[in-house]
């Protein structure tokens, strides 16, 4: 009996020494099958191309808000949704090539969360700050997360050596110029 009381006292003391934030922290894995990623790229001419990608994996550490985690995107899954047939296949192949994302060499894009800030007082929206790695090149980036687990990321492709028809690398492109900003939106679902 005395041994049991001694163990209980030690356990209670240890629990008091652990910050409450660590006790309530949870880890959530992303459901890669039910999470959706959409991308949009625009040309100076007003023409847009859009499509989808799939998560390879991801996890978040939560404590009332996101405190850390990462997302990995499978670049082999890049798909074009505004075209069909041969045009669709041609653009998907071009996006996978060295002109764009060099998917054969760099099959993953990764976002590593460093910190998060709550935008609304009710904690509904957050800004995740971290590092985005594309084609093996890493730069700081931010993702906006809403209370329905919708996410938005806008990145400058030229920073990741995606040069094709970029005004940062080529001059006099006229209406052939492709804007450097790529808009990524996602709906995140969690595994049970």
> Which pLDDT tens digits describe the chain residue by residue (192 residues)?
555 555 555 545 444 454 444 456 899 999 999 999 999 999 887 889 999 999 999 999 998 788 999 999 999 999 999 999 999 999 999 999 999 899 999 999 999 999 998 876 655 689 999 999 999 999 999 999 998 999 999 999 999 998 876 656 667 666 677 778 999 999 999 998
Across the chain, the runs of DSSP E, i.e. the strands, are: 26-29, 36-42, 48-62, 66-80, 108-118, 126-134, 137-145, 150-156, 181-187
- Cβ contact 93:85 at 8 Å: no
CATH classification code of 25-187: 2.40.128.110
CA distance 150 to 49: 21
CB atoms within 10 A of CB 109: 23
């Amino acid at each position: 009996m005395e041994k049991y009381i001694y163990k209980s006292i030690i356990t209670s003391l240890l629990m008091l020494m652990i910050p409450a934030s660590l006790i309530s922290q949870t880890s959530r894995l992303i459901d890669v099958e039910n999470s959706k990623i959409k991308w949009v790229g625009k040309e100076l001419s007003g023409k847009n191309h859009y499509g989808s990608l799939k998560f390879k994996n991801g996890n978040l550490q939560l404590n009332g808000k996101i405190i850390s985690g990462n997302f990995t995107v499978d670049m082999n899954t890049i798909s074009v949704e505004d075209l069909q047939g041969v045009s669709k296949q041609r653009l998907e192949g071009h996006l996978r090539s060295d002109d764009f994302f060099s998917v054969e060499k760099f099959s993953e894009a990764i976002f590593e969360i460093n910190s998060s800030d709550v935008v609304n007082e009710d904690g509904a929206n957050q800004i995740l700050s971290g590092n985005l790695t594309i084609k093996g090149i890493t730069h700081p980036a931010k993702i906006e997360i809403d209370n329905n687990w919708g996410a938005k990321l806008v990145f400058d492709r030229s920073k990741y050596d995606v040069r094709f028809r970029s005004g940062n690398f080529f001059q006099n492109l006229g209406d052939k110029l492709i804007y450097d900003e790529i808009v990524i939106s996602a709906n995140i679902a969690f595994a049970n």
